[in-house]
Amino acid sequence: MPDGQTLHWTQTATDGQARAGTLHTAHGDALTPVFMPVGTAATVKAMTADAVRSTGASIVLANTYHLMLRPTAERVAKLGGLHRMMDWPGPILTDSGGFQIMSLDKLRTLDADGVTFRSHLDGSKHRLTPERAIQIQHLLDSTITMVLDECTAFPATHAQAEASMELSMRWAALCRSAFIPRPGYGLFGIVQGGVHPDLRRRSAEALQAIGFEGYAIGGLAVGEGQSAMFDTLDVTIPHLPPTHARYLMGVGTPDDLIGAVQRGVDMFDCVMPTRAGRTGRAFTSAGILNMRNARHAEDTAPIDPACTCPACGRHSRGYLHHLFRCDEMLGPMLLTWHNLTYYQSLMRGLRTAILETRLASFAAQTRAGWQQTAPAADDA
Catalytic site positions: 95, 269
Helix (H) or strand (E) holding 76: helix 73-78
Q: How far is CA 18 from the centre of its chain?
A: 18
Residues 249, 214, 20, 199: what is their CA dihedral angle, to the nearest 10 degrees?
60
Concatenated DSSP letters for 266-289? -EEE-SHHHHHHHTTEEEETTEEE
Helix (H) or strand (E) holding 335: helix 330-355
Residue type (1 letter), 5? Q
**Other CB atoms closer than 10 Å to residue 297's CB: what's the count?**
13
170: Cβ contacts below 8 Å, ≥ 6 apart: 112
- The Cα–Cα gap between 294 and 318 comes to 9
